[in-house]
């Protein structure tokens, strides 16, 4: 069952004569408003009528003023708001056939046959049941004389598309649900604050996070803050965990740490099904160890606050895909959910996802915990495996600490290029995983220059304690390339007996890695496995869709844009011109444009001239004649040598006289600072861990006659995120994909999102629907796991 985009059809006329309604249901989640906004605007763009259904299914049943037409302006300025502006309610009425008949009547009378539901699995299951009964409901309404036969004929089929809004990330088939990333932001803010007070008093802290049936929030929090222990419902601890937990906490203290952190999901339980609560753990730690122990239950704080940049972009992309799915649906198309897998938009059969989500609960009830983790999906499984590697050094559930056997391997880690948030998390993960593998981990200070000057020291487990939450680069980093230091570098590699190299950094790390590969012919010492981990706010490293640090920078820009827009509240109409970093790469300008609701984002990759600027200025002038009072223009720092930020500011100021005034901001180095976001901490941790495991395997392959010799192309790689997974690609192969003059990859995935930015800013351009989004089956993808039907 594949579903392709309607070829040759003009997307701006696809919706003429059709009506779409959007509702939010169940628990609220940050980012729902972004999804509502995108659904409304893309619906209007296709020529369809769009309606809000206020108060979820209750509004659908009640009808009347709860179902209102939506306009372009009615969703303005809602992108940065948390919760859901159109309201959500738990609805008993919709669970009855009588209630669903009222709902059907309300839709038919308004000519609505396309329903977009944003909510959790309960809300989406309800929507599917409604769709299944639709024909029968219409027959009943006709027989009761509520609607005419013609009205029933015109509304003969109901199309349904779901978007998953749930902070727990508990819906199978989707990598991230709307609201999860923002909830992690709230949790990490609390964890960072608690860490400082806990260190002051040498306390143990127990934090309970949401997740009645799903441990995702707890697991990622534990990874992102380096917690001592995590309790999740999918994988209860073995019997006798109490003794092991106490021993773990003591070991952490004995190694010099001043605090302990334990993360508990609210649905955590023991193997016998009994709940494990904060109070239970606090009592245990206080009695057995005598530690000053405090517990904090985060509760509804996690649902609150402004959505993160990721959730705004996720909601916006899902909204666009949902409208396209509705426009292309036929009576034979099953109800689907739109979702992200990696950075790919996917459509999945709704009921298959619901089935697998239920299967997780069944697996947990039956004690098949390994199956439960697998059913949660690849992302969850990877997080769990990385957590086990990092936290369970003391060979969990054995009664003696077994020190890893020494491998006599020395691995060096260095940071190169400009600093960015998340570098320290990657170093920490690499060092600790290296130690678990029995390697000696050497830290190199000040990049390639430090490697040449011998600024190298051995790191222990505690050397990197508390590093995940620290911004910048603790090792020190420089932009210097290794070319002029090759002699010194090769001598130091020999002197310190370095067998493998992990280079964490931006484009300089990539170029420097290539320099080392090319110098292998001359210097045999460089014939060692090398791995480059992309870490730069610019997100311009070939071989990876994402770089460590880019998410933190994106959030900084987005939050700053929110504040700047808010600064003009109550004043006359105003347009802000904002310059972002990124070198020649327009990633930050484009993505923050999507997240902050920009009217235009000027970038180097998409050439623009005086005609384009003229069109944009005219567009803003027209927009300012409506009820909208704010304009936002983003410009990448190197987008054009002549059309500078000052030029664009002057142009808009001159043309906007009498209609709006202008202000400009150059954001500068604040984009490189700050504490890393949960995404960057988690991503960096996984990258650091994976790089060491790869090196370990490579070193086994390259071991010949008592020494390491690696000179094949695949012994020097970039570890990158490509579409749906982490992959290693030889540096030499990536040369062909690189524009070295402008320090960017020749093809960049995010350029495909540019049309969405323009459509959401009310430009009538053609949305390229040529790249078909197929309906994917999720159950067959998980064949190895026994599914309980």
- β-strand partners of 502: 413, 531
Residue 508 in tokens: 């300089």
The binding site for beta-D-fructose 2,6-bisphosphate comprises 479, 536-540, 574, 581-583, 637, 663, 669-672, 743
Residue 57 in tokens: 């299914």
Q: Which of 28, 62, 168, 228 is catalytic?
A: 168
**CA terminus-to-terminus distance, the chain:** 21
* Contact (Cβ atoms closer than 8 angstroms) between residue 239 and residue 295: no
Nearest one of 334, 450, 457 to 779, comparing CA atoms = 334
Residue 430, C-beta contacts closer than 8 angstroms, at least 6 positions apart: 411, 413, 441, 502, 504, 688, 689, 691, 692
The binding site for substrate comprises 166-168, 203, 210-212, 266, 294, 300-303
Distance CA 591, CA 584 (A): 15
Give the three-state DSSP class for 361. helix
Q: Across 253-409, where does the E strand assignment appear?
A: 260-265, 293-297, 336-341, 344-349
List own/partner pairs for 382-388 with CB under 8 A and 24 or more apart.
382/686, 383/216, 383/219, 383/220, 383/223, 383/682, 383/686, 384/219, 384/234, 384/235, 386/223, 386/429, 386/685, 386/686, 386/689, 387/219, 387/222, 387/223, 387/230
* Contact (Cβ atoms closer than 8 angstroms) between residue 723 and residue 526: no
Whole-angstrom CA distances from 421 to 472, 549, 720 are: 5, 5, 17
Active-site residue 168, yes or no? yes
Torsion of CA 485, 487, 489, 491, to 10 degrees: -160
Q: What angle do CA 648, 768, 538 make, to 5 degrees?
A: 50
The distance from CA 409 to its chain's CA centroid, rounded to whole angstroms, is 35
Distance CA 717, CA 732 (A): 8
Please give the positions annotated as active site: 168
């Amino acid at each position: 069952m594949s579903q392709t985009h309607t070829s040759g059809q003009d997307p701006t006329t696809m919706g003429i004569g059709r009506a779409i309604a959007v509702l939010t249901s169940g628990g609220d989640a940050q980012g729902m408003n972004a999804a509502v906004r995108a659904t409304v605007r893309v619906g209007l763009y296709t020529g369809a009528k769009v309606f809000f259904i206020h108060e979820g299914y209750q509004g659908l049943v009640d009808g009347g003023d709860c179902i209102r037409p939506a306009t372009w302006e009615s969703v303005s300025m809602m992108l940065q708001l948390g919760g859901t502006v159109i309201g959500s309610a738990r609805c008993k009425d919709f669970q009855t056939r009588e209630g669903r008949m009222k709902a059907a009547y309300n839709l038919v009378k308004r000519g609505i046959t396309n329903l977009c539901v944003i909510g959790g699995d309960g809300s989406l299951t309800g929507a599917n049941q409604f769709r299944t009964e639709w024909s029968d409901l219409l027959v009943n309404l006709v027989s009761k004389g509520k609607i005419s036969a013609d009205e029933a004929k015109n509304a003969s089929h109901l199309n349904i598309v779901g978007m998953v809004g749930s902070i727990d990330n508990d819906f199978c088939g989707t990598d991230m649900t709307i609201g999860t990333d923002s909830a992690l932001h709230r949790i990490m803010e609390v964890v960072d604050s608690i860490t400082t007070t806990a260190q002051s008093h040498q306390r143990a802290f127990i934090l309970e996070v949401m997740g009645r049936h799903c441990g995702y929030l707890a697991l990622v929090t534990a990874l992102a803050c380096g917690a001592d222990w995590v309790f999740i419902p999918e994988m209860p601890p073995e019997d006798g965990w109490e003794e092991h937990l106490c021993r773990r906490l003591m070991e952490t203290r004995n190694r010099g740490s001043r605090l302990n952190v334990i993360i508990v999901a609210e649905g955590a339980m023991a193997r016998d099904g009994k709940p494990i609560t904060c109070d239970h753990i606090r009592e245990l730690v206080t009695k057995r160890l005598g530690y000053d122990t405090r517990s904090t239950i985060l509760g509804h704080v996690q649902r609150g606050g402004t959505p993160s940049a990721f959730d705004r972009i996720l909601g916006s992309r899902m909204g666009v895909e949902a409208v396209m799915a509705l426009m292309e649906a036929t009576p034979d198309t099953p109800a689907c959910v739109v979702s992200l897998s990696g950075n790919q938009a996917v459509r999945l059969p709704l009921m298959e996802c619901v089935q697998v989500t239920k299967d997780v609960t069944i697996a947990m009830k039956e004690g098949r915990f390994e199956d439960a983790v697998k059913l949660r999906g690849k992302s969850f499984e990877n997080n769990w495996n990385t957590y086990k590697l990092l936290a369970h050094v003391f060979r969990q559930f054995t009664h003696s600490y077994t020190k890893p056997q020494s491998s006599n391997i020395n691995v060096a880690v260095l940071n190169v290029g400009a600093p960015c948030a998340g570098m320290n998390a990657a170093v920490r993960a690499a060092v600790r995983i290296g130690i678990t593998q029995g390697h000696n981990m050497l830290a190199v200070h000040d990049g390639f220059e430090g490697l040449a000057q011998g600024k190298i020291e051995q790191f222990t487990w505690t050397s990197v304690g508390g590093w995940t939450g620290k911004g910048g680069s603790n090792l020190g980093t420089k932009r210097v390339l290794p070319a002029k230091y090759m002699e010194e570098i090769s001598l130091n590699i020999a002197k310190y007996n370095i067998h493998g190299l992990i280079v964490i950094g931006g484009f300089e790390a990539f170029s420097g890695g290539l320099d080392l590969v090319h110098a292998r012919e001359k210097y045999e010492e460089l014939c060692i496995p090398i791995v480059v981990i992309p870490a730069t706010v610019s997100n311009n490293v070939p071989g990876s869709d994402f770089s460590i640090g880019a998410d933190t920078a994106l959030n900084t820009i987005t939050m700053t844009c929110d504040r700047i827009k808010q600064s003009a509240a109550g004043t006359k109409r105003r347009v802000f011109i904002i310059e972002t970093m990124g070198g020649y790469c327009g990633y930050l300008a484009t993505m923050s444009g999507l997240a902050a609701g920009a009217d235009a984002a000027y970038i180097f990759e998409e050439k623009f001239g005086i005609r384009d600027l003229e069109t944009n200025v005219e567009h803003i002038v027209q927009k300012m004649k409506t009820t909208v009072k704010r304009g936002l223009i983003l410009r990448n720092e190197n987008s054009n040598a002549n059309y500078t930020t000052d030029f664009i500011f002057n142009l808009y100021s001159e043309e906007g006289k009498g209609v709006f005034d202008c202000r400009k901001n150059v954001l500068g180095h604040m984009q490189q600072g700050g504490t890393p976001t949960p995404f960057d901490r988690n991503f960096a941790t996984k990258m650091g861990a994976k790089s060491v495991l790869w090196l370990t395997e490579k070193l086994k392959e390259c071991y010949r006659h008592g020494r390491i010799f690696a000179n094949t192309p695949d012994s020097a790689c970039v570890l990158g995120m490509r579409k749906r997974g982490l992959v290693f690609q030889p540096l030499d192969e990536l040369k062909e994909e690189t524009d070295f003059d402008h320090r960017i990859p020749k093809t960049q995935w995010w350029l495909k999102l540019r049309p969405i930015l323009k459509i959401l800013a009310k430009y009538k351009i053609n949305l390229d629907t040529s790249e078909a989004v197929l309906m994917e089956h999720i159950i067959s993808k998980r064949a190895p796991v026994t599914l309980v039907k």
